[in-house]
Amino acid sequence: MASIVYEVETLQVFRENSVVTVTINQPKKKNAIDRSMWDGLTEIFREIAANANDRVVVVTGAGQDFCSGADLSGRGNSASQEQVHQLAAMRRVNDACIALQRMPQPTIAKVRGVAVGAGCNLALGCDLVVAADNARFSEIFVRRGLSLDFGGSWVLPRRIGMHRAKELAFFGEIIGASDAFEMGLVNRVLADSEIDQFVDEWARKLAAGPPIALAQTKRLLNNSLNVTLEEALDDEAAAQTVNFSTSDTAEAMRAFSEKREPKFTGR
Protein backbone atom coordinates (compact mmCIF):
# COMPACT_ATOMS: atom_id res chain seq x y z
CA MET A 1 0.00 0.00 0.00
CA ALA A 2 1.32 3.45 -0.92
CA SER A 3 0.81 6.70 0.92
CA ILE A 4 2.29 10.18 1.11
CA VAL A 5 2.77 10.87 4.81
CA TYR A 6 4.54 14.22 4.85
CA GLU A 7 4.35 16.81 2.14
CA VAL A 8 5.16 20.48 1.99
CA GLU A 9 6.18 22.50 -1.00
CA THR A 10 9.86 21.65 -0.70
CA LEU A 11 10.00 18.22 1.01
CA GLN A 12 8.02 15.10 0.25
CA VAL A 13 7.90 11.70 1.93
CA PHE A 14 6.36 8.70 0.20
CA ARG A 15 5.91 5.28 1.81
CA GLU A 16 5.33 2.03 -0.04
CA ASN A 17 5.93 -1.53 1.15
CA SER A 18 8.21 -0.44 4.02
CA VAL A 19 10.36 1.69 1.69
CA VAL A 20 10.39 5.43 2.49
CA THR A 21 11.42 7.88 -0.23
CA VAL A 22 12.43 11.37 0.92
CA THR A 23 12.47 13.83 -1.98
CA ILE A 24 13.93 17.33 -1.88
CA ASN A 25 11.52 19.28 -4.05
CA GLN A 26 12.98 22.56 -5.23
CA PRO A 27 13.91 21.67 -8.81
CA LYS A 28 14.00 25.29 -9.99
CA LYS A 29 16.85 25.86 -7.50
CA LYS A 30 18.47 22.49 -8.20
CA ASN A 31 16.97 21.34 -4.89
CA ALA A 32 18.90 23.80 -2.74
CA ILE A 33 18.01 23.49 0.95
CA ASP A 34 16.98 26.57 2.93
CA ARG A 35 16.91 26.99 6.70
CA SER A 36 13.37 25.76 7.22
CA MET A 37 14.08 22.70 5.08
CA TRP A 38 16.96 21.66 7.36
CA ASP A 39 14.43 21.60 10.20
CA GLY A 40 12.05 19.61 8.01
CA LEU A 41 14.69 17.03 7.16
CA THR A 42 15.57 16.64 10.83
CA GLU A 43 11.91 16.05 11.69
CA ILE A 44 11.47 13.58 8.84
CA PHE A 45 14.62 11.58 9.63
CA ARG A 46 13.75 11.38 13.34
CA GLU A 47 10.20 10.27 12.59
CA ILE A 48 11.45 7.54 10.24
CA ALA A 49 14.00 6.35 12.80
CA ALA A 50 11.21 5.79 15.34
CA ASN A 51 8.90 3.96 12.92
CA ALA A 52 9.40 0.18 13.05
CA ASN A 53 7.40 -0.24 9.85
CA ASP A 54 10.00 1.73 7.86
CA ARG A 55 12.77 -0.63 6.79
CA VAL A 56 14.78 1.27 4.19
CA VAL A 57 15.10 4.94 3.21
CA VAL A 58 15.80 6.41 -0.24
CA VAL A 59 16.92 10.04 -0.37
CA THR A 60 16.69 11.82 -3.71
CA GLY A 61 15.94 15.10 -5.46
CA ALA A 62 13.06 16.12 -7.70
CA GLY A 63 13.68 16.66 -11.39
CA GLN A 64 17.15 16.37 -12.85
CA ASP A 65 19.31 17.13 -9.80
CA PHE A 66 19.98 15.67 -6.38
CA CYS A 67 20.86 18.76 -4.34
CA SER A 68 22.94 21.89 -4.95
CA GLY A 69 23.61 22.34 -1.23
CA ALA A 70 22.46 25.06 1.10
CA ASP A 71 20.33 27.82 -0.37
CA LEU A 72 22.62 30.85 -0.01
CA SER A 73 20.43 33.25 -1.98
CA GLY A 74 20.27 36.62 -0.29
CA ARG A 75 23.34 36.02 1.85
CA GLY A 76 25.11 38.97 0.27
CA ASN A 77 22.28 41.32 1.22
CA SER A 78 22.44 41.98 4.96
CA ALA A 79 19.03 43.65 4.96
CA SER A 80 17.39 40.41 3.84
CA GLN A 81 19.05 38.13 6.37
CA GLU A 82 17.35 36.81 9.46
CA GLN A 83 18.83 38.07 12.69
CA VAL A 84 20.22 34.64 13.59
CA HIS A 85 23.79 34.01 14.67
CA GLN A 86 25.64 31.79 12.21
CA LEU A 87 26.39 29.18 14.88
CA ALA A 88 22.69 28.89 15.61
CA ALA A 89 21.97 28.55 11.89
CA MET A 90 24.60 25.81 11.58
CA ARG A 91 22.95 23.84 14.37
CA ARG A 92 20.02 23.29 12.00
CA VAL A 93 22.37 21.80 9.42
CA ASN A 94 24.11 19.70 12.07
CA ASP A 95 20.85 18.40 13.51
CA ALA A 96 19.78 17.15 10.07
CA CYS A 97 23.15 15.45 9.57
CA ILE A 98 22.99 13.71 12.95
CA ALA A 99 19.38 12.64 12.37
CA LEU A 100 20.42 11.07 9.05
CA GLN A 101 23.31 9.20 10.65
CA ARG A 102 21.21 7.99 13.59
CA MET A 103 18.55 6.32 11.48
CA PRO A 104 18.89 2.58 12.13
CA GLN A 105 17.46 1.76 8.72
CA PRO A 106 19.73 1.34 5.67
CA THR A 107 19.74 4.53 3.57
CA ILE A 108 20.28 4.87 -0.17
CA ALA A 109 21.08 8.12 -1.98
CA LYS A 110 19.73 8.14 -5.54
CA VAL A 111 21.72 10.84 -7.32
CA ARG A 112 20.99 12.52 -10.63
CA GLY A 113 22.64 15.73 -11.80
CA VAL A 114 24.41 17.89 -9.24
CA ALA A 115 25.25 16.85 -5.70
CA VAL A 116 27.46 19.65 -4.43
CA GLY A 117 28.36 21.21 -1.10
CA ALA A 118 26.03 20.06 1.64
CA GLY A 119 24.11 18.20 -1.06
CA CYS A 120 27.20 16.15 -1.82
CA ASN A 121 27.64 15.31 1.85
CA LEU A 122 23.95 14.52 2.21
CA ALA A 123 24.43 11.86 -0.47
CA LEU A 124 27.71 10.57 0.98
CA GLY A 125 26.13 10.45 4.44
CA CYS A 126 23.78 7.74 3.23
CA ASP A 127 24.87 4.11 3.60
CA LEU A 128 24.78 3.45 -0.14
CA VAL A 129 25.10 5.85 -3.09
CA VAL A 130 23.71 5.03 -6.53
CA ALA A 131 24.50 7.59 -9.22
CA ALA A 132 23.19 8.17 -12.70
CA ASP A 133 25.88 8.59 -15.33
CA ASN A 134 25.00 12.30 -15.49
CA ALA A 135 25.68 12.84 -11.77
CA ARG A 136 28.27 15.42 -10.72
CA PHE A 137 29.79 15.73 -7.26
CA SER A 138 31.73 18.56 -5.64
CA GLU A 139 32.89 19.71 -2.21
CA ILE A 140 32.40 23.19 -3.62
CA PHE A 141 32.70 25.03 -0.29
CA VAL A 142 36.16 26.46 -0.90
CA ARG A 143 34.92 28.23 -4.03
CA ARG A 144 32.40 30.06 -1.85
CA GLY A 145 34.99 31.00 0.77
CA LEU A 146 33.68 28.28 3.09
CA SER A 147 34.91 25.11 4.77
CA LEU A 148 33.22 21.71 4.80
CA ASP A 149 29.91 21.12 6.54
CA PHE A 150 27.09 18.55 6.82
CA GLY A 151 29.65 16.04 8.05
CA GLY A 152 31.98 16.29 5.07
CA SER A 153 35.09 16.36 7.25
CA TRP A 154 33.94 13.11 8.89
CA VAL A 155 32.54 11.14 5.97
CA LEU A 156 35.09 11.93 3.23
CA PRO A 157 38.19 10.40 4.88
CA ARG A 158 36.14 7.34 5.81
CA ARG A 159 35.02 6.82 2.23
CA ILE A 160 38.14 7.63 0.23
CA GLY A 161 41.05 8.21 2.63
CA MET A 162 42.62 11.40 3.92
CA HIS A 163 44.67 12.45 0.88
CA ARG A 164 41.81 12.06 -1.58
CA ALA A 165 39.51 13.85 0.86
CA LYS A 166 41.89 16.80 1.05
CA GLU A 167 42.15 16.94 -2.74
CA LEU A 168 38.37 17.22 -3.11
CA ALA A 169 38.06 19.72 -0.24
CA PHE A 170 41.02 21.97 -1.15
CA PHE A 171 40.17 22.36 -4.84
CA GLY A 172 36.39 22.06 -4.84
CA GLU A 173 36.47 20.60 -8.32
CA ILE A 174 33.42 19.02 -9.91
CA ILE A 175 33.89 15.33 -10.69
CA GLY A 176 31.72 13.13 -12.86
CA ALA A 177 30.03 9.90 -11.87
CA SER A 178 32.70 7.62 -13.32
CA ASP A 179 35.48 9.42 -11.41
CA ALA A 180 33.37 9.34 -8.25
CA PHE A 181 32.98 5.59 -8.67
CA GLU A 182 36.70 5.10 -9.23
CA MET A 183 37.45 7.08 -6.06
CA GLY A 184 35.01 5.03 -4.03
CA LEU A 185 32.52 7.83 -3.41
CA VAL A 186 29.62 5.88 -4.93
CA ASN A 187 28.59 2.23 -5.05
CA ARG A 188 27.12 2.04 -8.53
CA VAL A 189 26.86 4.16 -11.69
CA LEU A 190 24.02 3.46 -14.10
CA ALA A 191 22.37 5.03 -17.12
CA ASP A 192 19.80 7.60 -16.09
CA SER A 193 17.04 5.40 -17.53
CA GLU A 194 18.10 2.48 -15.32
CA ILE A 195 18.68 4.11 -11.94
CA ASP A 196 15.07 4.09 -10.71
CA GLN A 197 14.61 0.37 -11.29
CA PHE A 198 17.98 -0.47 -9.75
CA VAL A 199 17.35 1.54 -6.58
CA ASP A 200 13.84 0.07 -6.31
CA GLU A 201 15.32 -3.44 -6.46
CA TRP A 202 17.97 -2.67 -3.84
CA ALA A 203 15.36 -1.06 -1.59
CA ARG A 204 13.02 -4.05 -1.90
CA LYS A 205 15.83 -6.47 -1.02
CA LEU A 206 16.79 -4.44 2.03
CA ALA A 207 13.16 -4.03 3.10
CA ALA A 208 12.79 -7.83 2.98
CA GLY A 209 15.85 -8.30 5.20
CA PRO A 210 16.01 -8.69 8.99
CA PRO A 211 15.60 -5.15 10.40
CA ILE A 212 17.24 -5.75 13.77
CA ALA A 213 20.28 -7.51 12.31
CA LEU A 214 20.66 -4.87 9.58
CA ALA A 215 20.44 -2.04 12.11
CA GLN A 216 23.11 -3.65 14.25
CA THR A 217 25.36 -4.32 11.26
CA LYS A 218 25.04 -0.65 10.29
CA ARG A 219 25.93 0.45 13.82
CA LEU A 220 28.94 -1.87 14.00
CA LEU A 221 30.33 -0.63 10.69
CA ASN A 222 29.70 3.03 11.51
CA ASN A 223 31.58 2.61 14.78
CA SER A 224 34.38 0.49 13.35
CA LEU A 225 36.95 3.27 12.92
CA ASN A 226 36.41 4.52 16.46
CA VAL A 227 37.04 1.31 18.40
CA THR A 228 39.81 -1.23 18.94
CA LEU A 229 39.57 -4.76 17.60
CA GLU A 230 38.77 -6.03 21.08
CA GLU A 231 35.98 -3.47 21.46
CA ALA A 232 34.62 -4.37 18.02
CA LEU A 233 34.57 -8.06 18.96
CA ASP A 234 32.74 -7.28 22.20
CA ASP A 235 30.19 -5.22 20.25
CA GLU A 236 29.75 -8.05 17.72
CA ALA A 237 29.19 -10.56 20.51
CA ALA A 238 26.55 -8.34 22.12
CA ALA A 239 24.83 -7.83 18.76
CA GLN A 240 24.75 -11.56 18.01
CA THR A 241 23.32 -12.23 21.47
CA VAL A 242 20.47 -9.85 20.67
CA ASN A 243 19.98 -11.45 17.23
CA PHE A 244 19.70 -14.96 18.64
CA SER A 245 16.93 -13.74 20.94
CA THR A 246 14.77 -12.54 18.02
CA SER A 247 12.08 -14.44 16.16
CA ASP A 248 13.70 -13.29 12.91
CA THR A 249 16.83 -15.37 13.51
CA ALA A 250 14.69 -18.38 14.40
CA GLU A 251 12.70 -17.82 11.21
CA ALA A 252 15.91 -17.63 9.17
CA MET A 253 17.07 -20.96 10.59
CA ARG A 254 13.70 -22.61 9.83
CA ALA A 255 13.67 -21.17 6.31
CA PHE A 256 17.16 -22.51 5.67
CA SER A 257 16.12 -26.00 6.78
CA GLU A 258 12.93 -25.82 4.74
CA LYS A 259 14.75 -24.46 1.66
CA ARG A 260 12.61 -21.33 1.35
CA GLU A 261 13.04 -17.58 1.68
CA PRO A 262 12.60 -16.26 5.25
CA LYS A 263 9.87 -13.78 6.15
CA PHE A 264 11.24 -11.25 8.61
CA THR A 265 8.97 -9.28 10.92
CA GLY A 266 11.48 -7.17 12.86
CA ARG A 267 10.77 -8.99 16.12
Each domain of the chain, given as residue ranges in start order, spans 2-207, 211-257
| 77-to-139, 143, 146 alpha-carbon distances in Å | 24, 19, 17
Instruction: Check residue 89 and give its pLDDT.
Output: 81
Position 79 scores a pLDDT of 47
Q: What is the reported pTM?
A: 0.92
CB atoms within 10 A of CB 114: 25
- Rounded Cα gap, residues 59 and 48, in angstroms: 12
- What integer pLDDT is reported at residue 80 of this predicted model? 46
pLDDT at 165: 97
Residues facing residue 56 across a β-bridge? 19
Assign a CATH topology to domain 2-207: 2-enoyl-CoA Hydratase; Chain A, domain 1 (3.90.226)
Q: Is residue 146 packed enough to be buried (19+ CB in 10 Å), middle (13-18) or exposed (0-12)?
A: middle
Q: What is the pLDDT of residue 84?
A: 67
pLDDT of residue 85: 75
For position 87, what pLDDT does the model report? 79
3-class SS letters over 195-212: HHHHHHHHHHHHHCCCHH
Q: What is the pLDDT along the chain (267 residues), one digit of tens a residue?
A: 455 555 568 999 999 999 999 999 999 999 999 989 999 999 999 999 999 999 999 999 999 999 999 987 755 445 445 566 787 788 999 999 999 999 999 999 999 999 999 999 999 999 999 999 999 999 999 999 999 999 999 999 999 999 999 999 999 999 999 999 999 999 999 999 999 999 999 999 999 999 999 999 999 999 999 999 999 999 999 999 999 999 999 999 999 999 999 999 989
Report how far apart, in Å, the C-alpha atoms of 146 and of each of 20, 85, 165, 258 are: 33, 16, 16, 58
Helix (H) or strand (E) run with residue 122 in it: helix 118-124
pLDDT of residue 1: 42
Identify the H or E element spanning 6: strand 2-7
pLDDT at 2: 53
